[in-house]
Amino acid sequence: MKYGIAMARRGWLEKKNVLNTLPLEQLIKKLKSCRVEKMKMKRQLRS
Protein backbone atom coordinates (compact mmCIF):
# COMPACT_ATOMS: atom_id res chain seq x y z
CA MET A 1 0.00 0.00 0.00
CA LYS A 2 2.75 2.45 0.87
CA TYR A 3 4.45 1.78 -2.47
CA GLY A 4 1.26 2.50 -4.43
CA ILE A 5 0.64 5.74 -2.58
CA ALA A 6 4.22 6.84 -3.08
CA MET A 7 4.01 6.17 -6.83
CA ALA A 8 0.72 8.02 -7.13
CA ARG A 9 2.18 11.04 -5.37
CA ARG A 10 5.28 10.87 -7.48
CA GLY A 11 3.09 10.91 -10.59
CA TRP A 12 1.19 13.97 -9.29
CA LEU A 13 -2.10 12.06 -9.07
CA GLU A 14 -4.89 13.68 -7.18
CA LYS A 15 -7.73 12.04 -5.30
CA LYS A 16 -10.12 12.83 -8.17
CA ASN A 17 -7.92 10.78 -10.54
CA VAL A 18 -7.96 7.59 -8.47
CA LEU A 19 -10.97 5.35 -9.04
CA ASN A 20 -11.19 3.76 -5.59
CA THR A 21 -11.32 7.14 -3.83
CA LEU A 22 -14.70 8.03 -5.37
CA PRO A 23 -17.89 7.93 -3.32
CA LEU A 24 -19.83 4.70 -3.93
CA GLU A 25 -22.47 6.24 -6.21
CA GLN A 26 -19.84 7.86 -8.43
CA LEU A 27 -17.78 4.66 -8.49
CA ILE A 28 -20.77 2.62 -9.68
CA LYS A 29 -21.62 5.23 -12.32
CA LYS A 30 -18.02 5.23 -13.59
CA LEU A 31 -17.84 1.44 -13.73
CA LYS A 32 -21.11 1.27 -15.67
CA SER A 33 -19.92 3.87 -18.18
CA CYS A 34 -16.67 1.96 -18.67
CA ARG A 35 -18.65 -1.22 -19.31
CA VAL A 36 -20.79 0.53 -21.93
CA GLU A 37 -17.68 1.86 -23.67
CA LYS A 38 -16.11 -1.60 -23.66
CA MET A 39 -19.23 -3.07 -25.24
CA LYS A 40 -19.21 -0.37 -27.95
CA MET A 41 -15.58 -1.17 -28.76
CA LYS A 42 -16.35 -4.89 -29.07
CA ARG A 43 -19.21 -4.14 -31.48
CA GLN A 44 -16.92 -2.00 -33.63
CA LEU A 45 -14.32 -4.73 -33.80
CA ARG A 46 -16.91 -7.26 -34.96
CA SER A 47 -18.01 -5.00 -37.84
Q: What is the pLDDT along the chain (47 residues), one digit of tens a residue?
A: 676 777 777 777 788 778 888 899 999 998 999 898 988 888 888 87
CB 30 within 8 A of CB 22: yes
Q: What is the pTM of this model?
A: 0.54
Residue 1's pLDDT is what? 65
Read off the amino acid at residue 46. Answer: R
- Please tell me the distance from the alpha carbon of residue 31 to that of residue 39, in angstroms, as a whole number: 12
- Please tell me the distance from the alpha carbon of residue 18 to that of residue 20, in angstroms, as a whole number: 6
